[in-house]
Chain A
Amino acid sequence: MRRPHQVGLSAAAFAIVAVIAVGALSQGLQQSSPRLTGPTTPMENVQAPALADPVTDDVRKMRNYPEQPPVIPHSITGYQLSLNTNRCLECHRRQFTEASGAPMISVTHFMDRDFQVLADVAPRRYFCLQCHVPQTEARPLVDNSFVDMTKTGGGN
């Protein structure tokens, strides 16, 4: 039969081992997933990663889910989008799509917030880049586990 102080000792030893093990494990986890909050030592100067090339192949991309704002498959470098002017609408406005061949802005974009249909793009939809964005070849920092619903057996 063990004396009480021996039990206390072994318990303490177990606790130390457990702490070390958990520490090592979390260290391992930290190494396997990238830091998303800047350099390990805060305030350190880090070199910015190189800019990824934009995707400009003009091929329309399938939406990942029906409500996804379509992404921009062409270069928009230097396009002015301000209170003064909107370069996107120079091709995507309804009146210009026949000659430009660009897709027309969605009909939902003619509705103001009271669901009143206007003749032209509603002010709340004017700043295209709020939702529609160009893509780059950048690799995501964290892998995306998104699965298309049709791939889960819900459709074809």
Chain B
Amino acid sequence: MQALKRLLGRLWLLVSRPATHLSLGFLALGGFLGGVIFWGGFNTALEVTNTETFCISCHEMRDNVYQELTRTVHFTNRSGVRATCPDCHVPHAWTDKIARKMQASKEVWGTIFGTIDTRQEFLAHRLELAQHEWARLKSNDSLECRNCHSAVAMDFSRQTTRAVEIHSRYLVSGERTCIDCHKGIAHELPDMTGIAPGWVTPLELRGEALPGDNR
């Protein structure tokens, strides 16, 4: 304890005293350049982790969720627009992105210790993993969906009558958000027993049951 205190004291002296040999210009410019290089490197590394290639470099992503994505409309469609993993799973705004990346360190832990090494383990975890994503998209009002699909830009005259009815009733009114009804849009669903369809009013919002109401 005493030794640590002495070490900290020496360090403090070192950083608090003016430099005796290095010029102020060198320190300022060097600091600036060092900062630029650090920041550039940091962001480049961050961007590298934000690509599909990086995501599917781990077998648990490549063999499970990625295979399922390849069979959906977000992977192949008539106009050739493709959504990759980070488009839906990583927020675009910087602070939100950093927050999500910090959460994702749990996934690094999982990879290192082999939490999901087999298909069976993946299936066992699927409901929990899906619920995390549903909760995330529900709480940010399906932000990642809306990065591409905006309710304002939807041409209701080009949708089927059924879609128009449902979208005007639930989406435009803000009563529900995309993920409520479009669960499993890009991956296979877990066992949905006991999970009500998205457009049904959630239990916690229903209020007290009236006598005779046996819903």
Q: Are B160 and A74 in contact (CB under 8 A)?
A: yes
Within 8 A of B (CB), among A37-82: 56-58, 74-75, 77-78, 80, 82
Q: Are B189 and A91 in contact (CB under 8 A)?
A: no
Contact bitstring B144-180, A, C-beta under 8 A = 1, else 0 = 0000000000000000111001000000000000000
Please give, as numbers and ranges, the residues of chain B lying within 8 Å of A99 by CB-CB distance: 199-200
Interface 1/0 per residue, A83-114 and B, CB below 8 Å: 11110001100011001110000000000000
Query: Which of B72, B160, B190, B197 has a CB less than 8 Å from the CB of A56?
Result: B160
- Chain B residues in 8 Å Cβ range of A75: 160
B200–A77 touching, CB < 8 Å: no
| B162 cross-chain contacts in A, Cβ below 8 A | 58, 74
User: Is residue B141 within 8 Å, beta carbon to beta carbon, of the partner chain?
Assistant: no
Find out whether the CB atom of B199 lies under 8 angstroms from the CB atom of A100. Answer: yes
**Which residue of chain A is the closest to B126 with respect to CB atoms?**
A84
CB < 8 Å A-B pair total: 38
Would B192 and A96 count as touching, CB distance under 8 A? Answer: no
Q: In the bound complex, how far is the Cα of B198 from the Cα of A91, in angstroms?
A: 11
CA distance A86 to B215 in the complex (A): 21
Q: How far is the CA of A74 from the CA of B162 in the complex (A)?
A: 8
User: Contact between B73 and A85 (Cβ–Cβ < 8 Å)?
Assistant: no
Smallest Cβ-Cβ distance to B215: which chain A residue: A95
- Number of contact residues on A: which range applies? 20 to 34
Interface size class, chain B = 10 to 19
Residue of A nearest to B187 (CB): A80
Q: Measured between alpha carbons, how far is A73 from B73 in the docked complex, in Å?
A: 21
Which chain B residues border A84 with CB–CB below 8 Å?
Answer: 188-192
Tell whether B58 is near chain A: CB-to-CB under 8 Å: no
B29 proximal to A (CB < 8 A):
no
In the bound complex, how far is the Cα of B165 from the Cα of A152, in angstroms? 40
A131 CB → nearest B CB, Å: 21
Determine if B160 and A57 form an interchain contact, defined as CB atoms under 8 angstroms apart. yes
By the criterion CB–CB under 8 Å, are A80 and B160 in contact? no
CB A116 to nearest CB in B, in angstroms, measures 21
For residue B41, CB closer than 8 A to chain A, the reply is: no
User: Is B86 in the interface zone, CB < 8 Å from A?
Assistant: no
> A99-B200, A100-B199 are known contacts. Are A82 and B160 too (CB-CB below 8 A)?
no
Q: Is the CB of A82 within 8 A of B200?
A: no
By a CB distance below 8 angstroms, the chain A residues around B192 are 84-86
The reply to whether A85 and B200 contact each other, CB–CB distance below 8 Å, is: no
B160→A58 contact, CB < 8 A: yes
> Considering the complex, which residues of chain B in the window 179-207 have a beta carbon less than 8 Å from any beta carbon of chain A?
184-185, 188-192, 197, 199-200
Bound-state Cα–Cα, A90 to B180, Å: 12
**Quick check: B184 and A85 within 8 Å, CB to CB?**
yes
B161 touches which one: A58, A86, A100 (CB < 8 A)? A58
For the complex with contacts A80-B189, A96-B197, 7 further pairs of A-B residues with Cβ separation under 8 Å are A74-B160, A80-B184, A80-B188, A84-B190, A84-B191, A96-B200, A101-B165
Instruction: Give residues in B with beta carbon < 8 Å to A.
Output: 72-73, 160-162, 165, 184-185, 188-192, 197, 199-200, 215
Binding site for B on A (CB under 8 A): 56-58, 74-75, 77-78, 80, 82-86, 90-91, 95-96, 99-101
